[in-house]
Structure 1
Protein backbone atom coordinates (compact mmCIF):
# COMPACT_ATOMS: atom_id res chain seq x y z
CA UNK A 1 0.00 0.00 0.00
CA UNK A 2 1.20 3.45 -0.88
CA UNK A 3 2.42 5.37 2.25
CA UNK A 4 0.40 8.44 1.23
CA UNK A 5 -2.80 6.39 1.00
CA UNK A 6 -2.05 4.73 4.31
CA UNK A 7 -1.47 8.14 5.94
CA UNK A 8 -4.67 9.49 4.37
CA UNK A 9 -6.71 6.59 5.74
CA UNK A 10 -5.19 7.09 9.21
CA UNK A 11 -5.99 10.81 9.14
CA UNK A 12 -9.55 10.08 8.02
CA UNK A 13 -10.04 7.58 10.85
CA UNK A 14 -8.67 10.05 13.39
CA UNK A 15 -10.94 12.73 11.98
CA UNK A 16 -13.97 10.45 12.31
CA UNK A 17 -13.06 9.67 15.92
CA UNK A 18 -12.63 13.37 16.63
CA UNK A 19 -15.99 14.11 15.02
CA UNK A 20 -17.71 11.47 17.19
CA UNK A 21 -16.12 12.86 20.35
CA UNK A 22 -17.05 16.40 19.30
CA UNK A 23 -20.66 15.37 18.63
CA UNK A 24 -20.90 13.72 22.06
CA UNK A 25 -19.44 16.81 23.72
CA UNK A 26 -21.86 19.05 21.85
CA UNK A 27 -24.81 16.88 22.89
CA UNK A 28 -23.66 17.00 26.50
CA UNK A 29 -23.22 20.76 26.29
CA UNK A 30 -26.77 21.17 24.97
CA UNK A 31 -28.15 19.14 27.87
CA UNK A 32 -26.07 20.77 30.56
CA UNK A 33 -27.67 24.24 30.80
CA UNK A 34 -31.15 22.75 31.09
CA UNK A 35 -30.03 20.46 33.88
CA UNK A 36 -28.34 23.35 35.64
CA UNK A 37 -31.49 25.47 35.32
CA UNK A 38 -33.60 22.63 36.71
CA UNK A 39 -31.24 22.12 39.65
CA UNK A 40 -31.12 25.86 40.32
CA UNK A 41 -34.91 26.10 40.24
CA UNK A 42 -35.23 23.19 42.67
CA UNK A 43 -32.67 24.76 45.00
CA UNK A 44 -34.49 28.12 44.85
CA UNK A 45 -37.84 26.48 45.63
CA UNK A 46 -36.30 24.60 48.54
CA UNK A 47 -34.68 27.78 49.89
CA UNK A 48 -37.95 29.70 49.55
CA UNK A 49 -39.85 27.02 51.48
CA UNK A 50 -37.21 27.00 54.19
CA UNK A 51 -37.21 30.80 54.45
CA UNK A 52 -41.02 30.86 54.70
CA UNK A 53 -40.91 28.22 57.42
CA UNK A 54 -38.28 30.14 59.39
CA UNK A 55 -40.21 33.41 59.03
CA UNK A 56 -43.40 31.74 60.29
CA UNK A 57 -41.49 30.26 63.23
CA UNK A 58 -40.06 33.68 64.16
CA UNK A 59 -43.47 35.31 63.88
CA UNK A 60 -45.06 32.66 66.11
CA UNK A 61 -42.28 33.09 68.66
CA UNK A 62 -42.76 36.88 68.76
CA UNK A 63 -46.52 36.52 69.16
CA UNK A 64 -46.05 33.94 71.89
CA UNK A 65 -43.60 36.19 73.76
CA UNK A 66 -46.01 39.14 73.62
CA UNK A 67 -48.93 36.99 74.76
CA UNK A 68 -46.90 35.49 77.60
CA UNK A 69 -45.70 38.92 78.78
CA UNK A 70 -49.30 40.05 79.04
CA UNK A 71 -50.14 36.89 81.01
CA UNK A 72 -47.23 37.52 83.41
CA UNK A 73 -48.29 41.16 83.94
CA UNK A 74 -51.85 40.10 84.63
CA UNK A 75 -50.84 37.51 87.23
CA UNK A 76 -49.70 39.49 90.27
CA UNK A 77 -48.83 36.69 92.70
CA UNK A 78 -45.91 35.14 90.78
CA UNK A 79 -42.53 34.85 92.47
CA UNK A 80 -39.20 36.07 91.11
CA UNK A 81 -37.86 32.56 90.45
CA UNK A 82 -41.10 31.47 88.83
CA UNK A 83 -41.03 34.62 86.68
CA UNK A 84 -37.45 33.88 85.55
CA UNK A 85 -38.42 30.32 84.62
CA UNK A 86 -41.52 31.58 82.80
CA UNK A 87 -39.49 34.12 80.78
CA UNK A 88 -36.91 31.54 79.86
CA UNK A 89 -39.17 28.75 78.69
CA UNK A 90 -42.36 30.52 77.52
Structure 2
Protein backbone atom coordinates (compact mmCIF):
# COMPACT_ATOMS: atom_id res chain seq x y z
CA UNK A 1 0.00 0.00 0.00
CA UNK A 2 2.84 2.39 0.84
CA UNK A 3 4.50 1.69 -2.49
CA UNK A 4 1.26 2.38 -4.37
CA UNK A 5 0.82 5.56 -2.35
CA UNK A 6 4.32 6.74 -3.32
CA UNK A 7 3.65 5.99 -6.98
CA UNK A 8 0.38 7.92 -6.90
CA UNK A 9 2.08 10.86 -5.11
CA UNK A 10 4.75 10.95 -7.82
CA UNK A 11 2.10 10.92 -10.54
CA UNK A 12 0.29 13.81 -8.85
CA UNK A 13 3.48 15.85 -8.69
CA UNK A 14 4.10 15.37 -12.42
CA UNK A 15 0.49 16.07 -13.38
CA UNK A 16 0.09 19.20 -15.50
CA UNK A 17 3.72 19.29 -16.60
CA UNK A 18 4.27 18.84 -20.34
CA UNK A 19 5.98 15.63 -21.38
CA UNK A 20 8.15 17.41 -23.95
CA UNK A 21 9.53 20.92 -24.28
CA UNK A 22 8.02 23.43 -26.68
CA UNK A 23 11.08 23.17 -28.91
CA UNK A 24 10.71 19.39 -29.21
CA UNK A 25 7.01 19.64 -30.07
CA UNK A 26 7.67 22.43 -32.59
CA UNK A 27 10.37 20.31 -34.24
CA UNK A 28 7.98 17.36 -34.57
CA UNK A 29 5.28 19.58 -36.03
CA UNK A 30 7.65 20.99 -38.64
CA UNK A 31 8.85 17.51 -39.57
CA UNK A 32 5.24 16.46 -40.09
CA UNK A 33 4.41 19.49 -42.21
CA UNK A 34 7.51 19.03 -44.33
CA UNK A 35 6.65 15.44 -45.29
CA UNK A 36 3.44 13.84 -43.93
CA UNK A 37 3.89 10.95 -46.39
CA UNK A 38 6.94 9.72 -44.44
CA UNK A 39 4.81 9.32 -41.32
CA UNK A 40 1.97 7.75 -43.33
CA UNK A 41 4.14 5.10 -44.99
CA UNK A 42 5.58 4.01 -41.64
CA UNK A 43 2.70 1.52 -41.48
CA UNK A 44 1.86 2.41 -37.88
CA UNK A 45 -1.96 2.60 -37.63
CA UNK A 46 -1.86 5.19 -34.84
CA UNK A 47 0.51 7.38 -36.88
CA UNK A 48 -1.74 7.08 -39.94
CA UNK A 49 -4.80 8.13 -37.95
CA UNK A 50 -2.81 11.08 -36.59
CA UNK A 51 -1.89 12.11 -40.14
CA UNK A 52 -5.56 12.04 -41.15
CA UNK A 53 -6.61 14.12 -38.15
CA UNK A 54 -3.84 16.68 -38.63
CA UNK A 55 -4.24 16.98 -42.39
CA UNK A 56 -8.02 17.04 -42.84
CA UNK A 57 -10.54 19.23 -41.04
CA UNK A 58 -13.36 16.70 -41.38
CA UNK A 59 -13.92 13.10 -42.38
CA UNK A 60 -13.18 12.18 -45.98
CA UNK A 61 -16.51 11.57 -47.70
CA UNK A 62 -17.34 9.13 -50.43
CA UNK A 63 -20.14 9.58 -52.97
CA UNK A 64 -21.38 6.34 -54.49
CA UNK A 65 -21.62 7.68 -58.06
CA UNK A 66 -18.67 10.08 -57.97
CA UNK A 67 -16.06 8.46 -55.71
CA UNK A 68 -14.00 10.28 -53.09
CA UNK A 69 -14.88 13.92 -52.53
CA UNK A 70 -12.27 16.65 -52.07
CA UNK A 71 -11.73 16.98 -48.31
CA UNK A 72 -11.27 20.24 -46.43
CA UNK A 73 -7.69 20.60 -45.22
CA UNK A 74 -6.53 22.11 -41.95
CA UNK A 75 -5.04 25.59 -41.59
CA UNK A 76 -1.33 24.68 -41.90
CA UNK A 77 -1.92 23.02 -45.26
CA UNK A 78 -4.06 25.95 -46.47
CA UNK A 79 -1.17 28.28 -45.65
CA UNK A 80 1.33 26.09 -47.51
CA UNK A 81 -1.07 25.87 -50.45
CA UNK A 82 -1.25 29.66 -50.52
CA UNK A 83 2.50 29.85 -51.01
CA UNK A 84 2.57 27.33 -53.84
CA UNK A 85 -0.57 28.45 -55.69
CA UNK A 86 0.14 32.12 -56.13
CA UNK A 87 -1.05 33.78 -59.32
CA UNK A 88 0.59 32.05 -62.24
CA UNK A 89 0.18 32.92 -65.89
CA UNK A 90 1.37 31.23 -69.06
CA UNK A 91 3.96 32.81 -71.30
CA UNK A 92 2.88 34.30 -74.61
CA UNK A 93 3.62 32.38 -77.79
CA UNK A 94 6.43 34.78 -78.59
CA UNK A 95 8.22 34.14 -75.30
CA UNK A 96 9.72 36.66 -72.93
CA UNK A 97 12.37 38.13 -75.19
CA UNK A 98 11.54 40.77 -77.77
CA UNK A 99 11.41 39.47 -81.37
CA UNK A 100 14.66 39.74 -83.33
CA UNK A 101 14.62 41.40 -86.76
TM-score range, shorter chain: 0.3 to 0.5
Q: Output the TM-score relative to the length of structure 2.
A: 0.31
Q: Output the TM-score relative to the length of structure 1.
A: 0.33
Write 1 or 2 for the structure with the bigger share of helix.
1
Q: Work out which structure has the larger RCO, using CA pairs closer than 8 Å and 6 or more positions apart in sequence.
A: 1
In our comparison, the structure showing a higher alpha carbon Rg is: 1
